[in-house]
Amino acid sequence: MGQRKPIVAGNWKMNGSCELIKEIAAVSTQVSSEQCEVLIFPPAVLLSEAISAGLTCGTQTVSEFESGAYTGEIQASLVKSLGANYTLVGHSERRSIYGESDEDVANKFAQAQQSGLTPILCIGETQAQREQGKTEEVVKQQLEAVIKKLGIASLANSVIAYEPVWAIGTGLTATPEQAQATHKYIRDLLSDYDKHVANALRILYGGSVNESNSELLFAQADIDGGLIGGASLKPQSFKAICESAKG
């Protein structure tokens, strides 16, 4: 992992409660901040509560627009003003359920950065794409949608989450070797654009990470922590996952 400080980020999706915020806040204080950065992505309606409890937070998505008549959308600048620092963009559930295209994701990435949020750009292939040998092609296209719009320098203030879609919420995890191979491909691809940006960038793995598989995944040279769904709702599991990330 070199000098890259690992991140363990919990994506609560449309789950969680004020009670869970208290429990996760309690366990996160037991994780050394030297060891890893702990981030929580609660539902947007719980953001203030989570920030007040001392958690470092972000939203699960943001609008690509600055402000205006977009009923129900989440305004990035308001998220920032509440004291949050991050947002996910392009989570596979946003892409598949809500039809977000690579272009939409690049626009959200841009809006997040303009508002002072650090985007965590989620990328990854479906099972069919992996079976067709298209994993690298897919992640390249997802990354280049952002690079073409905003330039490689924009990635300096971002985080990547590689999440094979077939591993999200399924209990199927990429093996450490499979995950490392794609993480290395991503870093090498970015290195061709800018070595410094590529070396400093944190690339998280996501997809059914739990306390039994996190240590081996996080030990891989190009894996800088994880984006955790289901297990981030279980305080003791989440704590164990955080402890397995070593800076």
218 membership: H or E segment, kind and range: helix 214-218
Residue in 10, 124, 164, 230 binding ligand PEP, rule: CB under 6 A: 230
Sorted by sequence, the CB contacts under 8 Å of residue 109 that are 6+ apart come out as: 89, 90, 119, 121, 146, 149, 150, 154, 158
Residue in 7, 168, 201, 245 binding ligand PEP, rule: CB under 6 A: 168
Query: Interaction with ligand PEP in 137-166: which residues (CB under 6 A)?
Result: 163
Q: Is 209 one of the binding residues for ligand PEP (CB under 6 A)?
A: yes
166 annotated to a ligand binding site: no
**Bridge partner residues of 10 (DSSP):** 40, 228
Q: What phi and psi, each to the nearest 5 degrees, are found at residue 120? A: -105, 105
Pair of tokens at residue 208: 């059914």
| CA distance linking residue 163 with residue 240, whole number of Å | 20
- Residue 91 catalytic? yes
Q: Is 16 one of the binding residues for ligand PEP (CB under 6 A)?
A: no
Residue that the structure tokens 């094979």 belong to: 164
Q: Is 40 one of the binding residues for ligand PEP (CB under 6 A)?
A: no
- Residue 163 catalytic? yes
Q: Is 208 one of the binding residues for ligand PEP (CB under 6 A)?
A: yes
Q: How far is the CB of 167 from ligand PEP (least distance, A)?
A: 6
Q: Is 119 one of the binding residues for ligand PEP (CB under 6 A)?
A: no
Residue that the structure tokens 């609008």 belong to: 63
Cβ proximity of 183 and 164 under 8 Å:
no
Catalytic residue among 64, 100, 125, 163: 163
Q: Is 228 one of the binding residues for ligand PEP (CB under 6 A)?
A: yes
Binding site for ligand PEP (CB under 6 A): 11, 13, 163, 168-169, 206-209, 227-231
Active site residues: 91, 163
- Provide the annotated binding site for substrate: 11-13, 169, 208, 229-230
